[in-house]
Amino acid sequence: MVFERPLVAPAKRSWPLFSSKVAAGFPSPADEHVEKRLDANEFLIDDEEATFFVTIQGYSMSESGLLPGDKAVVDRSKNASIGDIVLAVVDGEFTIKLLAKTKQGGPRLLPSNQSGEYKPIEIKDGMQFEIWGVVTGSFRRFK
C-alpha cells in the first residue's frame, strides 16, 4: 500500500460546480448555471494534519467504489463507527475494509465484493489489530 500526504496548506483553488445534473455530457458553461465554486481540497479534506492518501490495490472494496489505482482519503482524526470504511492494520498488514462486529460484539472487517473471492477478517484474541483511520472519500483519474 502506498501512503501519500497532501500538501500542507495547499493553495486555494476552485473550479465551477454547475447546478445542472447530467447523466453524461458536459454542463452548459454559462455563468448563470454555476451553483458555486468548489475547492477540491476543502471537499476532500476535513483535517489537513490528520489526512493522508493511500493507493487502492485489488478488488475487495469494488462494490463501495474503490478500484485499483484509486486514491483513498484517510482521516486519522475521525472515530470509526460500525459501517465505516476503515484503514486497519491486522497482524502487520494494512487493509481497507468495512468495519462490522461479530455476534459477540468483537470487531470484524468485511470486504465489499460479493464474488466470494474475498473473505471477512475475524479479529480474534492475540491478533494485532488497530484502526489507522476512516476512509472519508476517494478519487481517480481516467486519463
Residues marked active site are found at 60, 97
H helix or E strand, kind and range, residue 40:
helix 40-44
In whole angstroms, what separates CA 11 from the centre of its chain?
22
Residue 115 CA to residue 62 CA, distance in Å, equals 10
Point out which residues pair with 85 in neighbouring strands.
Answer: 98
**Rg over CA atoms, the chain:** 18
Place of cell 454559462: 30
**CB-CB neighbours of 96 under 10 Å:** 26
Q: Are strands 71-75 and 121-122 parallel, antiparallel or unpaired?
A: unpaired
